Every structure is written in structure tokens, then in C-alpha cells.
């Protein structure tokens, strides 16, 4: 799991509530990413940030929000607008913000269940 921590490992929420997933890295990486993984599927990019105070929408950003106020932190908020929030969420980072096609380092993931 390298130098990326995600907390908590399991998270349970009631429908209609916003929830924030934590992601912290001590690798001094410029770029950070949030992915969603559903059972039997690959990773889908939610948001990414190439530099502090800047972030871009990925392929499935609707119903999610992020912030990047510090280099080491990239929290993800799952809002009540996200229709299907139950999933496994993975945070990752990479060294360079200029080239996001390089090796990515992943955290252990947070499994979110919304009922």
C-alpha cells in the first residue's frame, strides 16, 4: 500500500447523506486520482489533480466532489446526488503532474455501502 493511506476501510451511510473519503500520501507526488471499482469491473476515473489547488473531472464525476488544498491530501465527497454510491473507492498518486500516464501508486481502498 506504499505511502498512501485511505480511511476508513469500510464505511456505511444512509441514503441521502453526503460522505467524505480520506486520502493522504507522503510520497511528495504531484498528481492524485480517485477511482471507483464495481464488482468484476475495472477502474473508472472520478477526478484527478495534477497540482495543488487544481483538479479535473474524470469519466464519472457526476455526484462527486473533491478538493486539493494540500499536496498530500485529496479527499473525495460522495454526495446524495450520486445515484449508485455503493462501490470500492481507490485513491492513487503519481510522481509527475505533467504526465499522468506514468506509474500510479494505490492506497488500500475504502468500501462504501449506502443503504
Partner 1 sequence: SQQGEEDPQALSIQEGENATMNCSYKTSINNLQWYRQNSGRGLVHLILIRSNEREKHSGRLRVTLDTSKKSSSLLITASRAADTASYFCATDGRIQGAQKLVFGQGTRLTINP
Rounded CA Rg of the chain: 13
Identity of the residue, 13 or 111, whose beta carbon is nearer to partner 1 in the bound complex: 111
- Residue 42 contacts partner 1 per CB under 8 A: yes
- Residue 43 contacts partner 1 per CB under 8 A: yes
| Phi, psi values for residue 7, rounded to 5° | -140, 150
- Cα 44 to Cα 47: distance, rounded to the nearest angstrom: 10
Tell me the window of 13-21, 22-30, 62-70, 98-106 that interacts with partner 1 (CB under 8 A).
98-106
Tell me the window of 14-22, 68-76, 78-86, 93-101 that interacts with partner 1 (CB under 8 A).
93-101
- Cα 20 to Cα 85: distance, rounded to the nearest angstrom: 12
Amino acid at each position: 500500500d506504499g505511502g498512501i493511506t485511505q480511511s476508513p476501510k469500510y464505511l456505511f451511510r444512509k441514503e441521502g447523506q453526503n460522505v467524505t473519503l480520506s486520502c493522504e500520501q507522503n510520497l511528495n507526488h504531484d498528481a492524485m486520482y480517485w477511482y471507483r471499482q464495481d464488482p468484476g469491473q475495472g477502474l473508472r476515473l472520478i477526478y484527478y489533480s495534477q497540482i495543488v489547488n487544481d483538479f479535473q473531472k474524470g469519466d464519472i464525476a457526476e455526484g462527486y466532489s473533491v478538493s486539493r488544498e494540500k499536496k498530500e491530501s485529496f479527499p473525495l465527497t460522495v454526495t446524495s446526488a450520486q445515484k449508485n454510491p455503493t462501490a470500492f473507492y481507490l485513491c492513487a498518486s503519481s510522481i509527475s503532474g505533467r504526465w499522468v500516464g506514468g506509474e500510479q501508486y494505490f492506497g488500500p481502498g475504502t468500501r462504501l455501502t449506502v443503504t
